[in-house]
């Protein structure tokens, strides 16, 4: 039963740890409807939950039934969750359908989650990448094409259809309890691969801080493109050591060496399409988001790394 005095909000990607945090923050203050393409997620009785493919007819049925005021689109499929074709169908074609339905049913606000990976990791990157920096990832690896295409799509809709009030967020590495992305999986291991001769500067934001950032952007409703990152950064090798991990030196030359060593060890070391991010920095300037939404992370790097260190005790 929905409260007609409250705004109705669709949250996608409800199975993810980040979406769960956002839902808990908004619960009771909005009429929440959640969905996920991977599975139906168990929710409190007053939050309808659906498993739905964005490219199928049932997705439009949700728009007809609930008359959404806003959408928080956290349903981007990660590189470890599907193959290239599956990610493109979900992240690009599915997101385009979502935005088209938002226009058709007069949704007044849409927040879209992206990633800093779209900038690409390159030896000539500036110390801090701003929102106007070029998106080079698609030129480096085909496995990030879907992320860049999603960005381009959201940017086109942002400027072409201002009535959608689109906010696009590009966060740095999200880590913490429940996070299952590539970097978090690495930091949970006892022995973590480090490319010999490389230790790029990296940024980390705690899961709960990122959820706070999404809520701040949603409730502030200042359309635009924003990097989300703390002011501080740390070399990758230092982060590994502070997380209580031992380093596994991996030859970086020849280029095929990490893949060969991975086969010999019988386990993946680095995802091939992300290996440049373990060579070169792709640090982002989060000052625009911080000043626009009066945002400051609560968790320090020490807090973040202590979680991974405690897992090993």
DSSP structure string for 21-67: HHHHHHBTTBEEEEEESS-PPP--TTS-EEE--TTSHHHHHHHHHH-
Is pTM beyond 0.85 here? yes
Q: Name the percent of the chain lying above pLDDT 90.
A: 73
Determine which of 138-142, 256-260, 291-295 has the lowest per-residue pLDDT on average.
138-142
pLDDT beyond 90 at 256: no
Find residue 35's DSSP bridge partners: 12, 50
Higher pLDDT, 199 or 92: 199
Q: Which domains does the chain have, with CATH numbers?
A: 8-178+203-231+283-299 (3.40.50.720)
Q: Which residues contact 265 (CB under 8 A, 6 or more apart)?
A: none
Q: At what angle do helices 145-160 and 94-104 cross, to 10 degrees?
A: 20
Q: Look at residue 1 and tell me whether its pLDDT is greater than 60.
A: no
Report DSSP state, residue 204: E
SS3 137: helix
């Amino acid at each position: 039963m929905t409260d007609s005095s409250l705004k109705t909000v669709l949250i996608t990607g409800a199975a993810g740890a980040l979406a769960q945090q956002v839902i808990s923050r908004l619960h009771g203050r909005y009429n929440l409807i959640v969905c996920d393409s991977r599975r139906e997620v168990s929710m409190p009785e007053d939050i309808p939950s659906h498993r739905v493919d964005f490219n199928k007819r049932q997705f439009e049925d949700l728009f007809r039934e609930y008359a959404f005021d806003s959408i928080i689109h956290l349903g981007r499929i990660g590189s470890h969750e599907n193959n290239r074709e599956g990610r493109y169908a979900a992240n690009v074609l599915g997101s385009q359908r979502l935005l088209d339905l938002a226009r058709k049913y007069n949704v007044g606000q849409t927040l879209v989650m992206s990633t800093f990976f779209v900038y690409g990791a390159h030896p000539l990157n500036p110390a801090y990448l701003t929102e106007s920096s070029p998106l080079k990832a698609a030129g480096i690896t085909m496995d990030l094409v879907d992320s860049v295409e999603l960005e381009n799509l959201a940017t086109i809709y942002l400027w072409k259809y201002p009535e959608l009030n689109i906010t696009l967020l590009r966060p740095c590495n999200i880590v913490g309890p429940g996070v299952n992305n590539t970097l978090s999986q690495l930091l949970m291991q006892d022995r973590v691969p480090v490319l010999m001769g490389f230790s790029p500067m990296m940024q980390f934001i705690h899961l709960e801080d990122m959820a706070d950032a999404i809520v701040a952007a949603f409730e502030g409703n200042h359309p635009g493109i924003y990097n989300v990152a703390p002011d501080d950064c740390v070399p990758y090798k230092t982060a590994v050591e502070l997380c209580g991990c031992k380093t596994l030196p991996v030859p970086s030359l020849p280029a095929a060496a990490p893949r060969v060593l991975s086969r010999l060890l019988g386990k993946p070391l680095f995802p091939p399409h992300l290996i440049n991010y373990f060579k070169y920095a792709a640090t982002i300037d989060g000052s625009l988001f911080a000043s626009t939404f009066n945002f400051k992370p609560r968790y320090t790097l020490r807090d973040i790394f202590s979680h991974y260190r405690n897992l090993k005790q």
